[in-house]
Amino acid sequence: MRKRPSQTVNSEVALSLPEIAKRLSEINERIEQLEAEVFGAGANPLGPPPSKRGKGRKPKLEPKKLLHRRDQLTNWVERNWPYLSIELRKARSPQQAIASIIAAKKRMPGVFHAPFYNDPQKHEAALWQFLKSRRFHGNPRNLAGAMAGLPELSWKRSFDVCSIRPCKLPLATEAYWDHMRRRFPDRLRELRQATTEEQVGAVLKRSRTQDPTYIYLKENPGKALEWLNAGKPPEAVPNRRQGMVPE
């Protein structure tokens, strides 16, 4: 006669449903800690975990809305960059910095309604703090990312969130000149001396880079000078070591 399987359960492994849920939560928390240690905070390659509704505080500004603002500001800032790149670097006070934003709005109005664009005077202090920080680097996309979250977020928090998800818009033509000035100053100086498509192509072939803007110029040598000149600043910028130098 067959023996029935034992109905006893090892008390050491028997867990209630609440205990199982607690163990799973502890495991997930440990996995997140390990991923942060290996990949760095905020850099989980599998993407962010699904949000839990009904628990915790509602974010002051939804990431989707923040990134939408950032992209709108990026487009407007880059189109105004030949002017703004000069005026923001020349500014010696928060008032002068905000005045350059207001003047840019009059020169080339935007078609969106981000709070920073609508009422820049309210964000004078935040703009000045950002410009004096080590996060600006003269990059228009850094500026747009820092200002996009105002007033719901601090400029630092806005910048950090936008940096995790970089803007995927192609660089505006008006920002090509300054991009080359910052990233490839030697090539820009040589391009200023070029007068033919062949000369432009020869100059651009001297740098091997994966920079998308540089590659685009290299692929279109016949249009490169025209595009660069579209973003040429209207005046020279003071240089502390060399006096006045052309941008």
Q: What SS3 state is found at 232? A: coil
The whole-number pLDDT of residue 11 equals 45
Please give the Cα distance from 158 to 146 (Å, whole number).
Answer: 5
CA angle 161, 67, 85 (to 5 degrees): 85
CA 128 to the chain's CA centroid: 18
The whole-number pLDDT of residue 237 equals 43
The whole-number pLDDT of residue 19 equals 72
The whole-number pLDDT of residue 43 equals 43
The whole-number pLDDT of residue 20 equals 74
Q: Give the model confidence (pLDDT) of 136-187 as tens digits.
A: 999 999 999 999 999 999 999 999 999 999 999 999 999 999 999 999 999 9
Show the low-confidence residues of the chain (pLDDT under 70).
Answer: 1-15, 18, 21-22, 25-26, 28-56, 235-247
* Secondary structure letter of residue 244 according to DSSP: E
Q: What SS3 state is found at 33? A: helix
Residues 6+ apart with CB under 8 A from 108: 76, 79, 80
